[in-house]
Structure 1
Amino acid sequence: MLKVELRAARIPGLPGLAADHYWLLVIRGAEASDLQTCDRWEIWQFARQNQSCWGHLHKNLLAPCQGVGSGPSHLIEQWMGDDALSMAAKIESSPSNYPFKESYRYWPGPNSNTFAQWIVREKMNLGKRAVGKSFPVPDTI
């Protein structure tokens, strides 16, 4: 079983009054609720912060459901079946395909929300607290 979750948490400080940080979880396993078989994917403001990173793109920098300093995370959406398969493939190929893994700007982007919107753009639009979601990402690199 495979499940993909979109999660968000309020960012710390004054910007957190209006902005959230979004990331994705790829959860594999018989019960797809076992976070031991989970990978967290996100763009982080600082590059190269762990062993599984590509510039600002990080895999498993933080625990799957851990917030980013201003409270807990919350589930935005989840996908299973064919939707989860196609999204997981896009997420897991993002080290090769995401064009802004070496760039980060809080405003107007590219940032964590630009990446999350790029992944989910065929399924949904991120909420109004997703600062950077509208930063243009080319279809091909």
Structure 2
Amino acid sequence: MGRLVGIVFVALLGVVAFSNQDWRTASREPAGISLSPDLITDAVIEVYAADAFSWRGWFAVHTWIAVKPEMAEEYTVYEVVGWRVRQGQPALRTYTTKTPDRYWYGAKPEKLLSVQGVKASALIPQITDAVSRYPWANEYQVFPGPNSNTFPAWIGLQVPELELNLPFSAIGSGYASNKSEPR
């Protein structure tokens, strides 16, 4: 019984701690783990995961893909974000930056994949094409998907040479392999 009380206390403490975070003030600083486009001229593909915001981070991650063609001065980042749909925008977001490894609203990202050089140069056009064909670009559902993890999983299925393996905590990644068309 004492152990159960301890577990409940820790869980409640975590809820209180997470509920005090404000997404508007949470860190979005670079984590310093991406390859700098100022220092590397080779083509680069990187995939990142960071704990989801607030209590969701206890069991789920948010994932995104960044590509930098050879000689490019910035990365193009592709990600799916649910709040965009609520605002009448596509869930699929594309932007350019020198720092694709930014904290995900307070959570430090982990690099899941890094491909460089000739292989990256060959795969970037395939990734770009797959992004343009992503069937759920305007949809978002936390569970079972499509969500932020469905997107890179779907890209990985379209470009198997990428050899992308998402972690178990990438909830919604299985949606991509279970569905061939949008609902």
The ranges of structure 1 where at least 4 consecutive aligned residues each deviate by more than 4 angstroms after the TM superposition are none
1:47 and 2:80 correspond: no
Residue 86 to residue 108, structure 1, CA distance change in 2 (3 Å): farther
Q: Comparing both structures, which one devotes a greater share of its residues to helix?
A: 2
The residue number in structure 1 matching 2:101 is 65
Query: How many angstroms apart in 1 are the aligned matches of 2:75 and 2:132?
Result: 20
1:108 and 2:144 correspond: yes
Query: How many angstroms apart in 2 are the aligned matches of 1:38 and 1:96?
Result: 17
Query: How many angstroms apart in 1 are the aligned matches of 2:51 and 2:170?
Result: 10
1:134 and 2:174 correspond: yes
Query: How many angstroms apart in 1 are the aligned matches of 2:70 and 2:121?
Result: 13
Q: Which has the higher contact order (CA 8 A, sep 6+)?
A: 1
Residue 61 to residue 104, structure 1, CA distance change in 2 (3 Å): farther
Q: For the aligned residues, what is the CA RMSD?
A: 2.6
Highest CA radius of gyration, 1 or 2?
Answer: 2
The residue number in structure 2 matching 1:24 is 65
Q: 2:69 corresponds to which letter in structure 1?
A: R
Q: Which of 132, 144, 160 lines up with 1:96 in the alignment?
A: 132
Query: How many angstroms apart in 1 are the aligned matches of 2:153 and 2:44?
Result: 18
Q: TM-score, normalised by structure 1?
A: 0.79
Unaligned runs of 5+ in 1: none
SS at match of 1:112: coil
Query: How many angstroms apart in 1 are the aligned matches of 2:119 and 2:96?
Result: 25
* Number of residue pairs matched by the alignment: 131
User: Contact conserved, 1:87 with 1:119, CA < 8 A, in 2?
Assistant: no
User: Contact conserved, 1:55 with 1:102, CA < 8 A, in 2?
Assistant: yes
Unaligned runs of 5+ in 2: 1-41
Instruction: Note the C-alpha offset of 1:91.
Output: 3.0
The residue number in structure 2 matching 1:12 is 53
Query: How many angstroms apart in 2 are the aligned matches of 1:40 and 1:96?
Result: 13
Q: Comparing both structures, which one devotes a greater share of its residues to strand?
A: 1
Query: How many angstroms apart in 1 are the aligned matches of 2:140 and 2:179?
Result: 13
Q: Identity of aligned pairs, percent?
A: 25
Q: TM-score, normalised by structure 2?
A: 0.62
Query: How many angstroms apart in 1 are the aligned matches of 2:105 and 2:60?
Result: 13
User: Contact conserved, 1:114 with 1:134, CA < 8 A, in 2?
Assistant: yes
User: Contact conserved, 1:90 with 1:119, CA < 8 A, in 2?
Assistant: no
SS at match of 1:46: helix
Query: How many angstroms apart in 2 are the aligned matches of 1:68 and 1:84?
Result: 25
Query: How many angstroms apart in 2 are the aligned matches of 1:131 and 1:16?
Result: 11
User: Contact conserved, 2:43 with 2:118, CA < 8 A, in 1?
Assistant: no
